[in-house]
Structure formats: structure tokens, C-alpha cells
A and B are shown apart, each in its own frame.
Chain A
Amino acid sequence: MILTCSIKKFALTFAALFIVATSIAQVTSGRIVFERRTNLKKRMGDNPRMKDMINDKNKIRKENFELLFNESGSVFKYIEPDVVEEGFLKYMTQRNTVYQNLKGNEKMIIMDLWGSPAHLKDSIEPRAWKITDNQRTFDGYLCRKAVWEMNDSTRIYAWFSPDLVPATGPEGFNGLPGTILGLASEDGSIVYFAKTVEVMEVKDTELDYSKIKDDVYNKEELKELLAEKMGRWLKPGDLDAMFAWF
């Protein structure tokens, strides 16, 4: 937001008209690798079927995601591990791909629904973030903690670094004065933290999602569709949880 000529303002003379290249640590594009830890015991621990299958050894599930960002937007997607994972635990978490178009104020989410993807396109809604004094470092970048009250019972914490300029982050989160390097639900059942931040050029073509044309819904439509088709198997709480962050 450039200073506009507003009326009756004291003119401030600025001697220095040269652009100061102080942005040593000001990053405008790059690649961040996030590690997501899901505590399966907290997410499903009171489900009688799952309770016995989750023990202390396997209750934390780690998955890697990457966020490619530049000033026009970002894309967030799952990094498949080299070795195929065995077992059923991988079906307990969702791995969505999220495109954020900051300039067009739009987001495109490819939801992974047990093998068949569903496309959700919607506008980026502003969220009411609260800023706290808590600070901590992620891969050398000092971040400040912000809180979003998702609903009466849950809060989401996000750590953003002002040194990373684009207002984006993992899983469709945005709107903070810096890129989000850490994300956590209040009970700690899902946590994302940035393991590495690599400063590099990201072309706009990598963030392009215009080729996705079929099966595109907006949030309300997709939620209704799923409730209709899957309502027998999903508890309403689980269905809401899938969409809660969007």
C-alpha cells in the first residue's frame, strides 16, 4: 500500500530516494518443507474400533509436505515417501493439495477422498487472527505466534515469519503478515512445522491450477455432496473436521 496523496497531510520530505537493499533476509519466493505430525491417539483415541490399534509407538504419524510460494501465490502438496508404507495407518490422515492465488484472491483445494480426488474452489476469506507475544524460531527464521478461533472449542495457532513476505502458508492458511512456518491445533493433535526454508525462484507456471476443470465445487456444494453420499459412514463431526480448516 503506497502512500496516497491524502489531503492536508504534512509533507514529509524524504531525502533518500534510492532503494535500500536491506532485504538480506526478506524472502519473496522459495520452497518450504513441512513435517506434519498427527497424534492419532488424540484424533481417534475414543473410537472403540481404533483404540486398540493405536499404541504409543505408532500414535504419532509423520508426513512431509512442500510449499512453493512467490508473491502471486503458493502451492502446497504432499511429498510421497520413496518407500511405500505398509499398513492401514496412512488412511487415518488426509493429504490435500492446496493452491492459493493471492492476486486473484482464490484458492483451489484438491481433496484426497480415498483415491478419488474432489476439487474445491473458493475465494480466500479473510480470517480474524489474533497476534500474541510468543515468538520462536523455525529454521533460523524468527516467528510470532498468531491465534485463530476456528469455533467455540478449537483454536488454531500459526507462527508466521515477517521475513518471508508472501502472506501464505500450509493447508490454505494465509492472511498473516508473513509466511506461516508453523501451524498447530490447540490440542496438539495436528502440528505442521517447517523443517527447511529454501530461498529460490518459483515460477508462476508451477502455481497454475487452471487446467483443473472437472468436478469443481465450492465449499458448500462439496460439503453437501459428501454428506449425501458418505453420510452413512462419516459422523457429522468427522465431516466437519475435513472441511474445518477451509
Chain B
Amino acid sequence: MKMFKFFLIASALFLVSEATAQEMKVTGTVYDTTGTIPLRNALAMAIRVKDSLLLDFTRTDAQGRFEISGFEVDTFSLIISHPNSDEKTYYMFGAADNFDINIPRVVMPPKSQEIAEVVIYAYKDPIYYKGDTLVYVADSFAVDENAVVEDLLKKLPGITVDKDGKITSQGEDISKVLVDGDEFFGSDPTIATKNLGANGIETVQVYEKENDEGIGGDDEKIKVLDLKLKEDAKKGYFGRVSGASDFALTPIGGEIGTNPFYEGEALFNVFNGSQKISFFVLGSNTPRSSFGWGDLNKFGLENESGTGNRWNPGSGNNTSGIPTTLKGGFYYSDKLGEKKQTKVGFNYSFYRDELDARSASRSQFLLPDTSYITDDSTRDYSLNISHRINLNIETQLDSLTSIQIKPNISFNSAQNSSRDISDFFNTSGAQTIGTNVRDTTGSEGIELGGFARVTRKFMKPKRELEVRYDISLSDNKNNGFLDSYTTYIASPFPNDTISQRKYNDNKTLSHYGTFTYVEPLGAKWRAQVEYLLEYGTSFQDKVALDFNSGAQDYIDTNASLTNVFDNIRQQHRVGLMFIYEPKKHRFAGEVRVRNIAIQNINRVTDSEINQNFTNFLPTFEYRFRPSMSKQFRVNYRTSSQQPSINDLQPIPDNTNPNRIKLGNPNLRPNYVHSFNTMFNSWKALSGRYVWAGANVILTQDAFGDSTNYDSFGRAVSQTVNVKGNTIASVYSGAGLPILGRKIEFAPGINGSYYRATNFIGAVENITENFSVTPNLKITFRFINDSLEMYTENSYAYNNTLSSFNNSTTPYYTLNNEVGFKWRMKGGFTIGSDGAFTKNFVPGDGFFDTQFFVLNAEVSKKFLKTQNLEVAIIGNDILNQNINARREVIGTTITDYRTTIISRYFLLKVTLRFNNRRAKEDDFDMFH
């Protein structure tokens, strides 16, 4: 805006001030453009010339008078403005003898027209115009080897860089520095100019752009400096390598040097623009066989969660034993297309898991008039090898349509060999039979899965359509040998031998097509329609050949164990859902109707069983979220599960000849009602949180067992539909920090109730199981969080009531854990934790165990970047770990103890690295 500037040397008026401080004072009277009428509420501002600081401002009163004062003498401009006229500016040179100035008449000038400025450039190569853009070709300007972009810019004619890094081109401020048209390096443009290497720059472009990120839009244009990088400039890498071993020094069974423990891993990620490649390798024979959550995130290993063996004292997970693990693979991801609208991801991983599990178990079968006890000693060896490939392609065809294709395939082979020695005892404790069963199986298979979908959004907001196809295929071939030898003690029966060779061929293929459409009905309502079509086939071919001693080969087909079974499934499902979302609430109700037609064909007997079911499956959900930190949810859903082909097909499974399982082709699908409610709340200032929830699952036509025992206690069972099962659980927990979060209490309580029906010898038996587990965790943090200590305790009470024998079998588990971790100066860290577990059963028993597992670790970081770490780790130093657990199913109580790795030591060296030669951090959620 052009302004009329007047220089007024206010020497006309000399005034003596009363005060001794040199403060300015300016007074005056303002008139309108005619010069006759005093102007009220005109604005008078004093702005210091040297730095544009606003010194004071005021509005004129009804008589047009104003006074500006209260600041030190200085040179400033006085601007008088009013909406009906143009501005008037006076320059005031305040001084010791010139600090009280009066302007008797300020006459406002009339409004003027604006004239836009036009600037014309004319340059030759290596600078040229491309449309509106001024382009400098960077390599034409010689800079130092290690120059940064700022140094390059200083050399470009017309571009100046001041000491703060502020860039101007042809005298105009550069508001933005972009890299490749995009903001690549964060919000401060000097990060790009001070840190990017100059020899990575291809061209420097200067152009004007609408300030679409500034205020409002068309009114302002900004000048932009765009650095186009050479392709090889946007890249880097980072990774971690570590190796650990005990060099066979851990004493095992009193001996040293028998079994060295080792762990090794390497993770590496290299990136180049939007392309990312990660490699990983892990090998170990310790329980640590998977990557932590932080690593999965940092290196982008999306498909690696959930792989690996788990090992936890007291847990019911049976992949426990002595593992050996080797896995590796790579991930590739990139964004293709001019606008980076296509995302591509590819992953290949290889796994080789070996597990050697030795366990002992004792089962008690409690029947109304009698009971049996079985002691098992088992050795299970398994080797699993698999190759997995995952592919993901997502592309945005236009602003409304997107396509995603995500197939995966895995090739698996496994070998299993198990030996089970069982001794059966009757009620009086005398042994009745002894068996020795050996099973070896080899299997190979392919699994394929994936989906493809098209999503289309419409111009009307929230209207959406999705069409999707899912496929799942598995093809598995097993073959193996079963050798079983049974000795009858104190009984007239002769010894029994089974020698069989088995082949099992399993194929399933399922196709799913889904169509979903969402339509908004007003601001708060939405309706969703969905249709699902499923077509699936399963095929099972089982052959069992008995050993023929004459031919010394397995040639006699065992007809009772041989069959070919087919299953065809077709499902149509229609669903309609309404969603209502006023502020803070969400109501969603859905009804699905589905019809499923199942055909079970027994190819050997040529018989067919057809089933056809139509179900109504309603769902309801309510959610209330008054603020970010509180929420309450209630939901009810129904579902129905089909029995698996193994449960349906009629051939008995005699893998364990003492516990034979029959199939049941008459099994009906079940119908499940589940209720769920949950509440949580937390307060940001105090850090307090509380949560509670409950689940109830009622199953109609549930799958239950019907078991028949022979006189020795061997069982034959079959899955049947039973009237109803119930599972209910309640949980609650809280966190209460005190003393400014230095101490935090976290109490909690869990409770559960199970009710299941099964049949024993055709008599109905109802089992109820109760459990309550209160727990408490206390955490202490001292010395600026560098010392952390905790204790975690829980006490579980479990009881089972069986209608059959009116007996109760309560048992208790006590867990106490204490630990600490101290990060000391000098890069030392020391930590230790001890966990005490006591399982007790009144009257003793196999499960009655108690053990204390003590672990410790000492480590130190080296190098200026702290990227090299050496640690000494001791696991289960007191060598006490036992994996013991108790399972109560119906009227059977089984206690297990599995041999697991207990004590081992490791010397571990870890190196983290990156191309910036800076400190490399592991992904830590809070920093």
C-alpha cells in the first residue's frame, strides 16, 4: 500500500517536561478529510523505526484528541489511521531536548488507489525460466566438497542468505524451502539448508505459490525455494547386530561343556526416498525366539508378531520344551507412481523351529462309582520348517476409488515324533495295564490365502461401497507310523500290538464374496447393507495299513480306519445395520440372516448327510465416550460355528490308542450369544486410571464330549451337541500413582465361571469351575526414573464342581515377583528379577510344586555414540524352573510337568549402527 510520507521535524514546539526520565509524549488532534470535523476513535500508533516495535497506541476521543506516551525517547513513526481515509505517517526524532511533541492538526488524507508492482527478470543459462519458475542448475556453481545447501544458495545470483539462514530472492523473502516439491525435513527450512549436502542438489527452483497453508487463500502469494535432489541423496540405513553365548559353560546336570547356548540376531533397514528394505535373521537355542514389539515397529516386520515359542512358568501353553529356532527374511516396501498413489509391499520369511519336549503327567478320572489314574511319560520332538511369502498392493485409482490386493502363501513341512509310556491304575492303586505308544509323522503342505477389494467413496460424504473377495486354501499331506504295545497286568488278556502305517490327505478351499454398502441418512444416522456368499469344499482321505508279518510290510488295509470324506458348504448371508451417532454416543444395531447348506459325503459307503440351517444373528452395540479419557461400552453379538471336518468325519482317530476319538457326522453348528461390557477412565493430571469389564458367553447346541471308559480306564470319545455351556468372566484394575508418580499402585481382580455339559457313559454330567484372582503390582521410580523397582503379586483360587461325583477339587496358585533395573552413570545398567511360584493342592499331588526363578543382567555401553553394548545375563540362576500346570476338563484332572530350559548364562554383545554415525535408539514408546 502506498503511503504518503511526511517528514515533520518537530522543532517548532519546545516544552519543558516535569519528569526527569526521558519519556516521549506525543499529543495531537485528528480531523477528517475535510479538515473541519474532529475524528473519533481514529487509531494512533507509535512504531520504533529501528526494529518496528509497537511502542504505544491509543484511540482519539470525542474531540479527536490523542496522547501517546510511556516509552523512552527514540526515533519512531507515528501512524494515524481511520477506516474512512488513508493513513498518515509522521517520523519523529525524539531526543533529550525533543520529547514532548504536539501536532495541532492532523488532517486525514482521502483513500487512494493501489498500484500493483510488476517485476521483470531477464537471465541466461545456467539460470533460466521454466514458466513462472526461476531455475538454477546447481552443478554449475562451484562449491566446496562438504558444502551444505546454504553455501550453494549463497553463490546463486539474486539469492542472499543472512546469518540466521533466512533466504531472500531478488529482495523478496523466501517463505518456504521445499525439497522435491514436498516438505521433507520438518518445519524449519534451515534444517534443509544447513544440513543437506550441496552436491546432492540437482536444481534450485524459485517460484511463487499460493499460500494455501496460510491464512485464507487467494490473498497472499508466497515465494518458495524448491530444492530438487539428485536421486542418490535421499537415503540412509540403520540396524542392530548382536550375538550371545555361554560358551558351554553353564553346568547342566552337573557337567560343563555338553550343551552350549547361543543367541544371534541381525536387523537391518535401508531406505531411499519412499523405498524401504529390511532384513532380519535370528537364531537361538534359548527361549528367546522372537522379536519384541519395539523392533517389529521400528524395522517394519509386520508379519513377525505371533511367531516363536512361548515359555512362561505357570501358563497353560503347551509349546514348552527345549527349542531351537532359526528364522530370517526380508521386507520390501515402496510407493510408486507420480503422486505416490500406489503402495507395494513384499515379504519373504523362512522359519525353522525345533522343539524337544519331555513331560510327565498324571490324570485322574473321577466317575461316580470309580476312579482311574493314569501316569504318562511323554517325549515329543517336532521340527517345523516353513517358507512364507506375503504381498500387498494398494493403489488409489482416483480420489474416490482404491484397490487392494493382498495374497499370501506358505509352504510348510513338519516332522513329529513322540513316545508315550502310560501306566493305568485302578481305584485301589493297582496297575492294570501299561502301554508304550510311538508315533512318527511327516507332513507337507501349502497354505494360500488373501483378498482383493475395491473401495469406492462417493461425492456424498460417508457414502461408501466395498466389494471384496477372500480366498483360503490349504493342502496338507501326512504320513506316519503308529506302533503301540499294551501289556495287561494281572489279567487274562494277551499283550496287544498295533503296527500301522497311515496316510492322510487334507484339502480345503473356501471362496468368499462380500458386498458392503453404507448410506448416510442425515447427519447422525447411517445404514449399512451387506451380502456375503461363501462356497467351500473340504476333502479328507485317510488310509491306515496294518503290518503283515508274512510280507514284512504294511499292506493290510484297516477298513475301520480308512475313509474318504467330502464336505461342501454354501452360505448366503444378508445383513442390515443402522448406526446412530449423536455427540459422544454411538448406537449400532445389526441383523444378519444367513442360510448355510452343508453336504457331508462318505465316499466309501456312498452315503450322504445333508444339513441346512437358517439363523438370525442380531448384534447390538452402545458406546459412550464423554471425553478422550473416559469410555463405556456394551455390546451383544451372536454367531454360529460349524463343526470342523475332523469332528464330522466318521473315522476314529487312534493316534493315541488309549484315547480314541470318533467323528460325528450328525453334529449341528452351535449358536453363541455373547455379552460384553467395559468401562475405563483416566485422569491426565494425576495419572490415575481405572478399568472394569465383564463378558458372558452362552452357547446353545454347544460342542461337548461324550466319553466311554473301559474297565481299564481307556477312553473312547466323540463330540456331540450338548444343551448349553456358559463362560463368564469379570475383570477390573486400576492404577493409582502417588508422590508425583514416584510410586504407583496397580491393584486388580479377575474372576471367571465356566459351566460345561458333557456325557460320561451316556449319563449327563455338568461341570462348574470357579476362579478368583486378586493381584497387586507396585512400581517405584527414583533418581529421575533411572532406578525402577517393582513387585507383582497374585493369588489365584480355583475350584471345580462336578455333578457326577459331588466332589470339589480346589487348588491355589501364588505368584510373587520382585525386580529392579538401575541405569547408572558411565553407561552401566544392572537389573534383576525373581519370581516365586507356589501351586498347592490340598492333600498334595503331582501339581503341588514350588519354585523360585531368579534372573539378573549387568551391561555397559561403549563408544562415543553409546551404540556398543556388552552384557552378562543369567537366567534362572538357581536352576529351579519347572513348567507345571493343571487342567480340569469335565471329570478329568490332569497335572503336567514339562522339562524346559532352566538355568543358562549368556555373554551378549550388541552393536547398533546407522549412516549418520549418531546414537541409534531402540524404539521406546515414551520417548
Contact = CB atoms under 8 A, between A and B. Distances in A.
A225 B29 contact: no
B566 to A, nearest CB: 46
Given A114-B627, A130-B54, A176-B54, A84 B581 contact: yes
Nearest to B781: A232
A184 B47 CA distance: 21
A131 B67 contact: no
B927 A10 contact: no
B66 interface: yes
B583 interface: yes
Contact of A48 (B13, B53, B214, B923): B923
B684 A129 contact: no
B215 A191 contact: yes
B213 to A, nearest CB: 5
Nearest to B63: A14
Given A22-B40, A187-B187, A1 B66 contact: yes
Interface in B583-635: 583-584, 586, 626-630
B773 to A, nearest CB: 28
Interface stretch (A99-107, A158-166, A199-207): A158-166
A182 B219 CA distance: 13
B16 A113 contact: no
Interface string B225-252: 0000000000000000000000000000
B215 A8 contact: no
Contact of A20 (B29, B32, B59): B32
A163 B186 CA distance: 38
A229 B37 contact: no
B183 A45 contact: yes
Contacts of B27: 3, 6, 9
Nearest to A137: B219
Contacts, number: 194
Contacts of A187: 187-188
A8 to B, nearest CB: 6
Nearest to A19: B62
A229 B18 CA distance: 54
A113 B740 CA distance: 17
Contacts of B211: 188
Given A12-B104, A23-B41, A235 B16 contact: no
Interface string A210-246: 0000000000000001101110110100000000000
Contacts of A192: 215
Given A41-B183, A138-B216, A146-B54, A225 B188 contact: no
A129 B32 contact: no
Given A162-B83, A193-B216, A83 B523 contact: yes
Contacts of B38: 14, 16, 20
B83 A39 contact: no
A84 B47 contact: no
Contact of A26 (B41, B52, B187, B584): B41
A3 B67 contact: yes
Contacts of A50: none
B187 A193 contact: no
Given A7-B18, A10-B13, A22 B39 contact: yes
Interface string A119-150: 00000000011111101111000100011000
B215 A184 contact: yes
Given A116-B684, A131-B52, A189 B187 contact: yes
Contacts of A165: 41, 59
B686 A229 contact: yes
Contact of A115 (B25, B32, B187, B628): B628
A226 B686 CA distance: 9
B683 A116 contact: yes
Nearest to B625: A84
B362 interface: no
Contact of B214 (A6, A20, A188): A188
Nearest to A55: B340
Interface in A61-109: 80, 82-84, 91
Interface in B156-213: 176, 183, 186-188, 211, 213
Contacts of A60: 213
Contacts of A228: 740-741
B685 A116 contact: yes
Nearest to A232: B926
A110 B560 CA distance: 79
Given A8-B15, A191-B214, A118 B628 contact: no
Nearest to A42: B187
A230 B685 CA distance: 7
Q: Which of B25, B100, B188, B216 has the largest number of chain A CB atoms within 10 A? A: B216
B45 A177 contact: yes
A213 to B, nearest CB: 17
B81 interface: yes
A129 B216 contact: no
A130 B39 contact: no
Interface residues of A, number: 77
A12 B765 CA distance: 111
A115 B523 CA distance: 25
A144 to B, nearest CB: 8
A80 B41 CA distance: 35
A25 interface: yes
Contacts of B551: none
B684 A177 contact: no
Q: Which of B13, B43, B685 has the largest number of chain A CB atoms within 10 A? A: B685
Given A9-B15, A22-B39, A115-B627, A1 B58 contact: yes
Interface string B100-113: 10101000000000
Nearest to A133: B1
A131 B47 contact: yes
B51 A193 contact: no
A4 interface: yes
B51 A162 contact: no
Interface string A154-181: 0000010011010000000000111000
A56 B40 CA distance: 49
Contacts of A226: 685
Contacts of A189: 187
Nearest to A222: B685
A243 B187 CA distance: 19
Contacts of B39: 20, 22
A176 B53 CA distance: 11
Nearest to A234: B926
Interface in B12-54: 13, 15-16, 18, 25, 27, 29, 32, 36-41, 43, 45, 47, 51-54
A178 B44 CA distance: 11
A12 B215 contact: no
B84 A25 contact: yes
A116 B686 CA distance: 10
A24 B686 CA distance: 52
Nearest to A17: B63
B785 interface: yes
B53 A114 contact: no
A46 B188 CA distance: 11
A147 B215 contact: no
Interface of B: 1, 13, 15-16, 18, 25, 27, 29, 32, 36-41, 43, 45, 47, 51-54, 57-59, 61-69, 79, 81-84, 100, 102, 104, 176, 183, 186-188, 211, 213-216, 219-220, 298, 523-524, 581-584, 586, 626-630, 683-687, 737, 740-741, 785, 923, 926-927
Given A6-B27, A130-B51, A178-B43, 14 more contacts: A3-B61, A3-B63, A9-B15, A19-B40, A22-B37, A23-B40, A23-B41, A25-B84, A39-B213, A80-B583, A84-B583, A128-B54, A177-B45, A177-B58
3 nearest A-B residue pairs (beta carbon):
A115-B627, A115-B629, A177-B57
24 contacts: A2-B61, A3-B27, A7-B16, A9-B15, A10-B102, A16-B36, A16-B37, A16-B38, A20-B38, A26-B83, A60-B213, A84-B584, A113-B684, A114-B627, A114-B628, A115-B627, A129-B53, A131-B54, A131-B79, A135-B1, A177-B59, A193-B216, A232-B785, A235-B927
